């Protein structure tokens, strides 16, 4: 199957679709030229995401990741919500096909864009480097998203290889120890 | 299930299946073998060749069996290119709306010193023959124009192109994969020098096709090995597939008029009803079009999500959106007819067959508007269009 059951569920029954008329922050990322646009509205109360809604123009993954992202940040303190990673969204959805990972990156950036908008509107300072404003040129944004998706895939592959290398090293060490013991014994 | 992706592939005809069966375990001989079972296979192979040739008014020794449309396309183009290189002539004319099997082969040739002119098409998805004429140079070796486009179904001016090429003594190859079995084709009347076909587009099996090469036109083998296909295509023949293809083509040819009459009515009804949806547009000429093809763009929504929701309703269709092609760009055909990216992403292609019923068409007419409305409600693009923050394009 192209998509997991969880993805299909969030696609068929997306949570938190709609708009918030008096939103405290609105973030829009992506570009119609690329075929994916996500818009996220947040309502902030006591520094927490009191309410969140989204609208998305895009494929099954785009709609599912938007839906999941809103579920993951609802009720959370802003500082926590803004730390949402695309990996977390993908894991929560039981995975996405590799060529669809960039949609999850867009979801992460939509959250950041909404929070950035909230900070801007309320004159709250923040580290500008950490926020993708969602106004990058289409190709740059997608390349950025693809790069990140690649990194995510490589990271988990590297983790596997590091584990294997460590295991092999330990095994070799142990073998050397036992061989040394044997030699000693022989002596 | 309502299957409306027949341009993608078709259901095999029951008669075709029955005809093929004995070639698996009764008449399973290798047509190159000397013994009786082999010789019977050879007979069946040559009969199939003669039958296919008859349908398109070619000679049996002008038909070569391949693994399908892509292989035939590759072999045709690369053969003429190789001949051209030997004669130091390196210009090819083709169109922007060809299938990727043609376009990627052209790109490969460009990397090897060939110059390729990719003709634009008019807004209706049809090549302008005057532009083609003007593109011809002294070193043009090949004109390659598809018979009918797979995405938008538009039928190209093959007869005129054939005449032009004959007058200028340039080889004319047409990728007729979507046309064979659906439109009458006479390679002599149309002055076609090379033509490709694929069985699974006309209710035959997948994995088998043919290439017509007019006597006198150069042909080089792509696959080296045994002496099959007069040394032009090595490999033990897929006899079951070839016999299947032949049966399928004979049936399709016989039923063509009846099927087309029925499908034209369905097609026109679908177009009429679905373009009632606000801000939608038909892609490609409404009349110079395959009877089985409907392709419409809906502004403000994306194709894959449309297809998934249709699939949930048991309707199988396809789209030209980037998401469905795995690239960043939507269909090159829709872009070639002038659709902006964001509109091309919202396309729906419905391709029917002789098995399509009136009830199925009515169900599609009922479901598509509901799904488009649902997706528009959650689309920020549609929101901007409705609020006037973005200008409607269609």
What CATH number has the domain bearing residue B363?
3.90.1150.10
* Same domain, residue pair B208 and B262: no
- The span from the CA of B244 to the CA of B249, in Å, is 9
Looking at the domain assignment, is residue B120 inside a domain?
A: yes
What percent of chain B shows pLDDT beyond 90?
97
Spell out which residues of chain A touch residue B300, defining contact as CB-CB under 8 Å: 57
Residues forming beta bridges with residue B171, ordered by sequence position: B142
Residue B51: in which H helix or E strand, if any?
helix B36-56
Whether B9 is covered by a domain: the verdict is: no
Residues B175 and B272 in one domain: no
Q: Contacts of residue A33 in chain B, CB cutoff 8 Å?
A: 340-342
B356-381 mean pLDDT: 98
Distant-in-sequence, close-in-space partners of A132: CB < 8 Å, separation ≥ 6: A29, A109, A112, A113, A141, A144
pLDDT tens digits for range B277-334:
999 999 999 999 999 999 999 999 999 999 999 999 999 999 988 877 777 789 999 9
Pick from A8, A28, A55: CB nearest B379: A55
| Together in a domain, B129 and B233 | yes
Please tell me whether residues B57 and B100 are part of one structural domain.
Answer: yes
Picking from A178-182, B153-157, B333-337, B355-359, which range would have the lowest pLDDT averaged per residue?
A: A178-182
- Quick one: pLDDT at residue A183? 52
CATH number for the domain spanning B196: value is: 3.40.640.10
Task: Decide if B131 is inside a domain.
Answer: yes
Q: Which domain holds residue B335?
A: 256-387
Look-up: residue for tokens 């990728």? B175
B207 lies in some domain: yes
The number of CA neighbours under 13 Å toward the Cβ of B217 is 28
Q: Are B240 and B206 in contact (CB under 8 A)?
A: no
Q: Which residues contact B83 (CB under 8 A, 6 or more apart)?
A: B141, B218, B220
From B301, B304, B380, residue closest to A39, measured CB to CB: B380
pLDDT digits (tens, 9 = 90+) for B382-392: 999 999 999 99
pLDDT in tens, B3-61: 999 999 999 999 999 999 999 999 999 999 999 999 999 999 999 999 999 999 999 99
pLDDT of residue B111: 98
Question: Nearest Cβ partner of A55 from B305, B308, B380?
Answer: B380
Q: What is the pTM of this model?
A: 0.90
pLDDT for the residue A184: 55
In angstroms, the CA B320 to CA B284 distance is: 13
Residues B187 and B261 in one domain: no
Question: Which of B312, B328, B379 comes nearest A142 by C-beta?
Answer: B328
B82 has pLDDT over 50: yes
- Shortest Cα distance, chain B CAs vs residue A96, angstroms: 13
Average pLDDT per block of 10 residues along chain A, 187 residues long: 94 98 96 85 97 97 97 97 96 94 91 95 82 50 63 59 58 61 52
A12 contacts in chain B (CB < 8 Å): 309, 312
Q: Which of B252, B279, B296 delimits the end of a domain? A: B252
Q: What share of chain B is helix, strand, coil (3-state, %, to 5)?
A: 45, 15, 40
Say whether A58 and B305 touch across the interface (CB within 8 A): yes
Tell me the pLDDT band of B175, cut-offs 50, 70 and 90: very high
Rounded Cα–Cα distance for residues B383 and B361 (Å): 30
Domain closes at, from B252, B285, B305: B252
Per the DSSP assignment, residues forming a β-bridge with A25 are: A42
Is the CB of residue B302 less than 8 Å away from at least one CB of chain A? yes
Q: How many angstroms separate the CA atoms of B102 and A9, rounded?
A: 39
Residue B5 belongs to some domain of the structure: no
Evaluate whether residue B8 is within a structural domain: no
Q: Note the pLDDT tens digit of each residue in B121-146.
A: 999 999 999 999 999 999 999 999 99
Q: Residues B182, B44: one domain?
A: yes
Q: Is any Cβ of chain A less than 8 angstroms from the Cβ of B299? A: no
How many angstroms separate the CA of residue A162 from the nearest CA in chain B? 31
**Chain B contact set for A96 (CB, 8 A):** none
- Return the structure tokens found at B88: 């130091």
Q: What is the pLDDT of residue A164?
A: 53
Are residue B245 and residue B268 in the same domain, yes or no? Answer: no
- Give the residue from chain B lying closest to A58, CA to CA: B302
Domain boundary, last residue among B190, B223, B252 = B252
The verdict on a CB contact (< 8 Å) between A57 and B328 is: no
pLDDT at A139: 42
Q: DSSP per residue over B129-140, as a string?
A: HHHHHHH--TTE
Residues B173 and B48 in one domain: yes
Q: Are B301 and B373 in contact (CB under 8 A)?
A: no
Catalytically active residues of A, by annotation: 34, 103
B227, B288: one domain: no
Residue B352 has pLDDT above 70, yes or no: yes
Strand partners of residue B64: B211
Q: What is the pLDDT of residues B219-258, one digit of tens each?
A: 999 999 999 999 999 999 999 999 999 999 999 999 999 9
The answer to whether residue B74 is domain-embedded is: yes
pLDDT score, position A138: 43
- Predicted interface score ipTM higher than 0.90: yes
Does the pLDDT of residue B367 top 50, yes or no? yes
In a domain, B2, yes or no: no
Same domain, B125 and B214: yes
Residues 6 or more apart whose CB falls under 8 angstroms from that of B64 comprise B72, B75, B210, B211, B212, B213, B219, B229, B230, B232, B233
A134 touches chain B (CB under 8 A): no
Residue B208 has pLDDT above 80, yes or no: yes
Q: Write out the catalytic residue numbers of B.
A: 323
Same domain, B52 and B192: yes
Query: Are B307 and B355 within one domain?
Result: yes
Domains of chain A and CATH, by start? 5-171 (3.90.1010.10)
Number of separate domains in chain B: 2
């Amino acid at each position: 199957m192209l998509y997991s059951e969880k993805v299909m569920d969030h696609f068929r029954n997306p949570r938190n679709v709609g708009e918030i008329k008096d939103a405290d922050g609105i973030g829009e990322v992506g570009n119609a030229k690329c075929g994916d646009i996500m818009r996220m509205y947040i309502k902030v109360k006591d520094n927490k995401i009191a309410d969140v809604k989204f609208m998305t123009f895009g494929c099954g993954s785009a709609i599912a990741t938007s839906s999941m992202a809103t579920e993951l940040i609802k009720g959370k303190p802003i500082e926590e919500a803004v730390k949402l990673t695309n990996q977390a969204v993908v894991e929560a959805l039981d995975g996405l096909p590799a060529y669809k990972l960039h949609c999850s990156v867009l979801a992460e950036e939509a959250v950041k864009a909404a929070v950035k908008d909230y900070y801007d509107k309320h004159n709250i300072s923040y580290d500008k480097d950490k926020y993708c404003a969602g106004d990058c040129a289409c190709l740059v944004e997608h390349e950025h998203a693809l790069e990140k998706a690649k990194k995510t895939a490589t990271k988990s592959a590297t983790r596997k290889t590091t584990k294997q290398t460590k295991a092999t090293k330990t095994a070799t060490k142990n073998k050397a120890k036992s061989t040394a013991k044997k030699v000693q014994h022989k002596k | 299930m309502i299957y409306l992706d027949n341009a993608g592939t078709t259901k095999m005809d029951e008669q075709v299946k029955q005809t093929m069966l004995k070639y698996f375990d009764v008449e399973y001989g290798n047509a190159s073998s000397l013994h009786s079972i082999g010789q019977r296979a050879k007979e069946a192979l040559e009969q199939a060749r003669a039958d296919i040739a008859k349908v398109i008014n070619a000679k049996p020794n002008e038909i070569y069996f391949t693994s399908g449309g892509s292989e035939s396309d590759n072999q045709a183009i690369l053969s003429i290119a190789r001949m051209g290189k030997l004669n130091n002539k390196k210009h090819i004319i083709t169109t922007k709306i060809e299938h990727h099997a043609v376009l990627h082969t052209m790109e490969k040739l460009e990397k090897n010193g060939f110059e390729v002119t990719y003709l634009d098409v008019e807004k209706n998805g049809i090549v302008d023959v005057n532009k083609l004429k003007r593109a011809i140079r002294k070193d043009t070796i090949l004109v390659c124009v598809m018979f009918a486009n797979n995405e938008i179904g538009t039928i190209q001016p093959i007869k005129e192109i054939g005449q032009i090429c004959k007058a200028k003594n340039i080889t004319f190859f047409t990728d007729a994969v979507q046309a064979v079995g659906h439109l009458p084709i006479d390679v002599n009347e149309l002055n076609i020098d090379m033509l490709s076909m694929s069985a699974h587009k006309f209710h035959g099996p997948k994995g088998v096709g043919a290439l017509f090469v007019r006597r006198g036109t150069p042909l080089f083998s792509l696959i080296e090995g045994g002496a099959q296909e007069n040394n032009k295509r090595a490999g033990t023949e897929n006899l079951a597939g070839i016999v299947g293809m032949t049966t399928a083509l004979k049936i399709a040819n016989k039923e063509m008029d009846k099927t087309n009459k029925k499908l034209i009515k369905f097609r026109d009804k679908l177009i009429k009803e679905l373009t009632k949806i606000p801000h939608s547009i038909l892609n490609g000429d409404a009349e110079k079009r395959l009877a089985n093809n409907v392709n419409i763009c809906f502004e403000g929504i994306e194709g894959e999500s449309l297809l998934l929701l249709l699939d949930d309703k048991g309707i199988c269709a396809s789209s030209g959106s980037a998401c469905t092609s795995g690239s960043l760009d939507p269909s090159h055909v829709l872009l070639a007819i002038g659709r902006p990216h964001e509109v091309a992403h919202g396309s729906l292609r419905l391709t029917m067959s002789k098995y399509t019923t009136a009830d199925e068409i009515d169900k599609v007419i009922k479901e598509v508007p509901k799904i488009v409305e649902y997706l528009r409600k959650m689309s920020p693009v549609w929101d901007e269009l409705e609020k006037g923050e973005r200008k409607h394009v269609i």
